Amino acid sequence: MSITESSSVPAEPPLAAGIASQGTEPGAVCTLILTHLKVSLLLLLQGKFTLLRDSRTDGSFLVHHFLSFYLRAGCKVCFLALVQSFSHYNMVAQKLGVSLTAAKERGQLVFLEGLKSCLDLVFGGEEQPGQPSPLQFISGSVSNLKDLFDFVRTSLTPADSDCWKGRVLLVDDLSVLLSLGAAPVDVLDFIHYCRMVVCSQLKGNVVVLVHGSEDSEDEENKLVLTSLCHHSNLILWVEGLATGFCKDVHGEIKIIKRLSLESTEQDVVQIYQYKIQDKNVAFFARGLSAAVL
């Protein structure tokens, strides 16, 4: 299955690549492709909050997918990169056919490099007058995340000359704020206000990764993760295999679509297995890996 680009229609996300090459039956392949297209269409709808979570494995590959996907789609993206450096994200994005450097230069991508900001605060790096660091809470001068929220709001507020198709806030990963000393209530308040501005006012999307494990003793992280699950329109939950490492199947992804945040309607849940390849991710139904067919 090839990935094509058009001037008016965004390219199919890299996550869909490789499905048809898994040796599954035609009916199964069609079902997988249609399912992914439905998920992709949901992500393009305005005003949605998507939670990415993982356990027993690293779900960071989803962050790279969403980053390249929204940039391809012509959206303005504010990326709070709290885990890796810009060069790391740019290197992975180039494999997916996207240049983060070019996106920054044309004003499409606003990139907060959390590692550098932390070092500047701890070791007294230069600060622009009247512009406090978005991570100012680390210094102890403030106890909330207002400066970080102001950074997001300013980055995504439309200008008169804007021609972007939508606004997106992407966070990798929210757990780092807890590790840096932010209180769970402040982290939840930050996400609440971001949802109000990005999703409700700007009709954009918020995508947040939170690392977590069911066996973890980190109660603060569990509290944040549980609360975000209740407020998410879509949850993509990546889990490692219970049987351990396998070179042909790297894990399972559970797609949980919340039909309504207010009603008691049952969530729609779909589960697939996946294998991370060099430039894409192959998805298949349980037991339909090419290694077992």
For 7-35, write each residue's pLDDT tens digit: 333 443 444 333 333 444 433 444 444 44
Integer Cα distance of 66 and 169 in angstroms: 10
Q: What is the pLDDT of residue 130?
A: 59
Q: What is the pLDDT of residue 62?
A: 93
Q: Does the pLDDT value for residue 267 go beyond 80?
A: yes
Q: Does the pLDDT value for residue 181 go beyond 70?
A: yes
Q: What is the pLDDT of residue 129?
A: 56
Integer Cα distance of 165 and 108 in angstroms: 11
Mean pLDDT of the residues in the chain: 81
What is the value of pTM for the model shown?
A: 0.82
Integer Cα distance of 254 and 241 in angstroms: 12
**Average pLDDT of the residues in 228-241:** 92
pLDDT digits (tens, 9 = 90+) for 113-164: 998 888 888 777 655 555 778 998 988 777 789 999 999 999 999 987 788 9
**Average pLDDT of the residues in 56-60:** 90
Q: What is the dihedral of CA 149, 171, 81, 126, to 10 degrees?
A: 10
Integer Cα distance of 171 and 260 in angstroms: 24
Q: What is the pLDDT of residue 2?
A: 34
Q: How confident is the model at residue 245 (pLDDT cuts 50, 70, 90)?
A: confident
Q: What is the pLDDT of residue 292?
A: 56
Structure letter (DSSP) for residue 112: E
Q: How confident is the model at residue 262 (pLDDT cuts 50, 70, 90)?
A: low
- What ranges in the chain are assigned the alpha helix state H? 26-44, 60-72, 86-95, 100-105, 114-122, 146-156, 175-179, 184-194, 219-231
> Hunting for tokens 């992280």 — which residue is that?
221
**Average pLDDT of the residues in 164-170:** 93
Q: What is the pLDDT of residue 128?
A: 58
More confident residue, 42 or 218: 218
Share of the chain above pLDDT 90, in %: 49
Q: What is the pLDDT of residue 213?
A: 67
Q: Does the pLDDT value for residue 277 go beyond 50?
A: yes
Per-residue burial over 107-137, b if 16 or more Cβ lie within 10 Å, else e, is ebbbbbbbeebbebbeeeeeeeeeebbbbbb
